[in-house]
Structure 1
Amino acid sequence: MSASRDVGAGASPLTPEWRRWLVENLVRGVPPEDLVASLEKSGVDAEQARRAVEVEQQEPFVAGALRAVGMQRKLEGLLDVYAELFQQTEGPPRVDRHEALTPEAFFDRYYFDNLPVVLRAGWSASLAPEVWSPGNLAALLGEREARHACCVPLFEDSRLEPLSRGLTTLRGLTAEEARACEPRLWWEPPGTEVPLRAARRNVLLAQVHGERRLQLIPAFELRRVTVASSEPRDAPLCLDVTLSPGDLVLLPVGWWYGFSAPGGGAAVSFEAFALPEPNVTWDADAEPRPSPLPPRD
């Protein structure tokens, strides 16, 4: 198929098929001079090739797309810089663990810096063993639901009233009132595997029973998580964490997490913290707002 045709001075010298190819590559960010060279190699006259690229760049819908894509590339580049800085720390990237950590250190070093951390708080010792035993949790959920992994709000499900009644919060870390923390029971039967998902808010997860094997991916790996690639260099950075009963982990907002529970398990999550400001929410599905209107003639 010929790439060019006889046209007037203000129109593209390319056929519709070749124009689609040209616009696609302009939006992908291929340099205009490379596109001109490709057109010349395909048999398009040098002057017509340059004019074809100029015509498409001046099309209003193409110019708008190029501006939007340009901003996206800048944001992706910034996230790549954050990833590079994160991996320049001493030793391999990892999730810190602490046997003891003051609330001030928890918030200053991890919560506000959007970093995960594992604490050994012993919080689960405050729970009544007979109420929170795996057998009783399964009985409260019911035979059908207990067969599958689930995440159930403790104060919104009447079946779980025995659990919410004696629930204690994490002093200095979470809000003092249990209901305000929006606690949820995380239940996993043996063999559970949960794929990656984004943390839409900061979550403090307290392991009650079983072993949870977490995979955590930083928020700045957004592009690599959402774009499948077979190239190892494009694989997102993944941090592995294993939780045992009594462990707490901060799942920072914007991070991805997935996990497995080979022997089954149970945990409780909290979403309100001991801070004057409310928890932040990442609305990944929010509709974009229109850009500023152009001036009227």
Structure 2
Amino acid sequence: MNEDKSLLRPEWRQWLAENLALGVGVEEVEQVLVGAGVSLEVAREEIAAAGQHPYFQACRQVARHFGWLESLMETYSALRAQDGGRELEVREGLTPEEFFRRYYFGHRPVVLKGAMKDWPALQKWSVPYFREHFGQVEVEVMTGRDANPEHAAQQDRHRSRMPFADFLAMVESGRQTNDYYMVPRNDNWSREGLSALRDDLRAPEGIIDPSLQADQMTLLLGPAGTVTPLHHDNMNILLGQVMGRKHVKLVPSYERHRVYPHRGTFSHVDAGAPDLVAHPLFAEATVLETVLEPGDMVFLPVGWWHWVKALDVSASVTFHHFVAPGGNTHLDAPP
């Protein structure tokens, strides 16, 4: 901040308008500005000018609508908390009818036990198996993730191609790392060399489209320590754990205001070690947790926030073509 200038920089004016519109007190705003090097006289002048500007009045009206929606979500969250909303249900032998009625259309997550018992992948998949049968296939993976906190949102900066055998050597090195990972945004399923792996999977009967086309599923493979940061998908997802274990945390879609959204579908919160000083509302969030074992599946409803960490060398698959009227439900996120 340059004290010689009588006016705030544009980014500070934006910050000022946003915070005042969202209800932050004038004295608190003054303190932040003065702490940043603005004179008290200039701070008060800018606050007064902002309050009289017609653009700010429109901004405040939008904020009132935002506050109403947030209040509605708070009410819904309180109601769901009394209706099992603070528990992640675990089911075995669930019929398709109950899955869709209670979970898919009920917008509830659920862990499914035994839904993968007929998958050849559970017996066949391992690092040695991949190396023996697919080692020479060229694959795409994300590398250099540790150097970029925004790696999940900026995936195109991290795409690397290499023989599958080279990636497998990295995976089984014994390192616990988040630096390299084969994620859903890679196209390895559709490449001829790995397409045979789809033959080792089975669609949960009556829930997922049985054709299992390449564009209907994704593959995730990496070492222990890989982390998928807190985010939400814009459609329903069924995730199946084939190799290793994964720690999963979920936050309801209707608690969006408690996860500090960032870049639309991501969160500022590190759900593995949340900073409650920087993000105090996260302390009020409903956080459901589970550890997925090989053979477990978890249903991730559209818009639900989830954070995932691999506890072992891990392979997972996801499905998003549900046998539902009209196909999968999609969230039309604003641009």
Aligned with 2:128: secondary structure?
A: helix
- Counterpart-to-counterpart distance in 1, 2:290 and 2:95: 21
Q: Is 169-178 or 140-149 further displaced after alignment?
A: 140-149
Matching residue of 1:145: 167
Residue 127 of structure 1, aligned match among 114, 120, 127 = 120
- Counterpart-to-counterpart distance in 1, 2:218 and 2:16: 51
Matching residue of 1:94: 87
Instruction: Give the aligned residue type for 2:57.
Output: A
Runs (5+) with no aligned partner, structure 1: 1-14, 36-48, 288-297
Residue 77 of structure 2, aligned match among 63, 75, 83 = 83
- Counterpart-to-counterpart distance in 2, 1:58 and 1:207: 56
Matching residue of 1:69: 63
Residue 297 of structure 2, aligned match among 237, 244, 248 = 248
- Counterpart-to-counterpart distance in 2, 1:124 and 1:154: 25
Matching residue of 1:200: 234
List structure 1 runs of 4+ shifted beyond 6 angstroms. none
Matching residue of 1:217: 251
Q: Is 164-173 or 60-69 further displaced after alignment?
A: 164-173
Aligned with 1:136: secondary structure?
A: helix
How many pairs align? 254
Aligned with 1:221: secondary structure?
A: helix
Larger Rg: 1
Matching residue of 1:171: 205
Matches within 5 A, 1:6-85: 26-29=20-23, 59-85=53-79
TM-score (norm 1): 0.73
Instruction: Give the aligned residue type for 2:318.
Output: S
**CA shift at 1:166, angstroms?**
4.5
Say what the alpha-carbon RMSD is for the aligned residues.
3.3
- Counterpart-to-counterpart distance in 1, 2:295 and 2:17: 56
Q: Is 222-231 or 254-263 further displaced after alignment?
A: 222-231
Matching residue of 1:11: none
Cα 1:250/1:24, change in 2 over 3 Å: closer
Aligned with 2:193: secondary structure?
A: helix
- Counterpart-to-counterpart distance in 1, 2:18 and 2:240: 48
- Contact 1:218/1:237 (8 A) holds in 2: yes
Matching residue of 1:112: 105
Matching residue of 1:158: 192
**CA shift at 1:65, angstroms?**
1.0
- Contact 2:118/2:202 (8 A) holds in 1: no
**CA shift at 1:60, angstroms?**
2.2
